[in-house]
Amino acid sequence: MAVDRRAASGAAIEAEVLDSTEVDEGALRRLLRRAGRGLARPAIECLELLLDSGTPPQVRLTMLAALTYLLFPLDLIPDFIPAAGFSDDLVALTALLGLCTSHMREDIRLRAQRKLDRWFPPGR
């Protein structure tokens, strides 16, 4: 029986991500520039919440799982199915928004705002 090395190291990767305080800001900035400032703000707030050491580990893991599910191209219910296609994405997004709403602190919002203003200077 062959063991998928990527699956076997999944727990280690998750632990590294959860303990990481470094993000490839260049890649994230390029992605968010295409999305625009309006979408960048909640994305940066979620990132700051995920990276904040004060965020409980179970919240960080749930946020990471929801973000991964939203970004992963394969879904439980394929998006091309009318009406039902986006229902699984909606569940993940609702979980993510609920966590962000209940665990967001003002210091996290301020850090996110400073990063947003650096990446998207006001008045441009």
The 3-state secondary structure of 5-61 reads HHHHCHHHHHHHHHHCCCCCHHHHHHHHHHHCHHHHHHHHHHHHHHHCCCCCHHHHH
Full pLDDT tens readout for the chain, 124 residues: 444 444 444 444 444 444 555 667 777 788 777 777 777 888 888 889 988 999 999 999 988 888 887 777 677 777 777 777 777 778 888 888 888 889 999 999 999 999 999 988 877 6
Q: Model-level pTM?
A: 0.63
Structure tokens at 111: 């850090």
